[in-house]
Amino acid sequence: MKAARLYGPGDLRVEDIAPPGIPDAGWVKLRVDAAGICGSDLHNFRTGQWISRSPSTAGHELTGTVTALGEGVDTVVVGDRVVADSRFWCGECAQCRAGRRHLCASLGFVGEVCDGGFAEQAVLPARLLHVVDAALDERVAAMAEPLSVALHAVRRLPKAAGSVLVVGCGPIGGLAALLLCRNFPGAVLVADRNQARCARVARVTGATIVDLDRDAIAAATGNAPLLAAVEATGSIAAFTQLLGVVDSGSAVAMVGIFHGRLDIDPNLLVEREITLLGCHAFADELPDAVRMLGELSEPLLALIDREIGLDDIPSAYERLLAGQSDGLKTIIRMRQPVEPA
């Protein structure tokens, strides 16, 4: 079968490899239907930060169809359509025992500690699989995992009156804007230096585009206080600028993957009582995200950047790392749809 495998930083190869055999006890074999490219996939390709096996088949945002069961599996059956939880937790540490699997002391991810979804077939633990509606569009199903990450970040924010700003209209920022526009009581603002992508997010979600400037934000909100923000760029410069525009008493959910170190005056946080909220993956949001997929199908499809095949993954990485996208998510479809005659 064909798979995209990461050998080291900058070394991603689409290869023909042996298909998986009979799954071990507690594991399930899938025919992968679709998968999404995540910013963390790009970060790992660029830096090698999370390479623990070489080569490993990348891809943790995936949906597929169950084709075989290992011994003892009774949570899914052959033929089920499923999405995968990306988190590979130990189940034994203090955090896991307390139900905080996303903070597991030895947490790894699908596509890292085990082979992932950038392949025609995959084998995963049954505990990671969630059944989805068989009629759900596979492109939408592939977005369950990033929707969970966005939902976790949004839920970390306080339910304060005022306005909320999302900085960065990539996959997580754009999905956070979509969720906020449906549930947040105040104005939802978005900012991104990629103007085309920001415009698409604003058009699909109903958010208001602003510059990272206090006067521009005040004009957009009618001087309502900016008490909540989502930082989804991973840019030190953008984060520093964000701290200059949020109001005192605000909370910032930090979900971007950074490439550098912060150099800020901690007295800024103390004197203005700004709360920084780290957001790592997701906690228990995946089942809720799965339930939302049907009602969110139309905007999710409208936010897709491109649909590609497995052979196109290396060039897609290159394009995305260069910032050449006007949508949120590049979706890999293992079998391209047949055009009607």
- Give the tens place of pLDDT for each residue, 274-317: 999 999 999 999 999 999 999 999 999 999 999 999 999 999 99
Which pTM value belongs to this model?
0.94
| 237 Cα distance to chain centroid | 22
Written as six digits, the tokens of 20 are 């998986």
Superfamily for domain range 149-278: NAD(P)-binding Rossmann-like Domain (3.40.50.720)
Superfamily for domain range 2-131+303-333: Medium-chain alcohol dehydrogenases, catalytic domain (3.90.180.10)
Distance CA 170, CA 175 (A): 8
The stretches in the chain having pLDDT less than 50 are 338, 340-341
pLDDT at 158: 87
Among positive and negative, which fits the CA dihedral 295, 297, 299, 300?
Answer: positive
Give the pairing of strands 188-191 and 163-167: parallel
Phi, psi of 42 (to 5 degrees): -65, -40
Distance CA 327, CA 253 (A): 22
Q: Where in the chain is the domain with CATH 3.90.180.10?
A: 2-131+303-333
pLDDT at 50: 84
Which residues on neighbouring strands pair with residue 68, listed in sequence order? 29
Q: How many residues does the chain have?
A: 341
Q: Where in the chain is the domain with CATH 3.40.50.720?
A: 149-278
Residue 170 DSSP code: S
Kindly give, in sequence order, each residue whose CB lies less than 8 Å from that of residue 151, ignoring residues fewer than 6 positions away: 179, 282, 285, 288, 289, 292
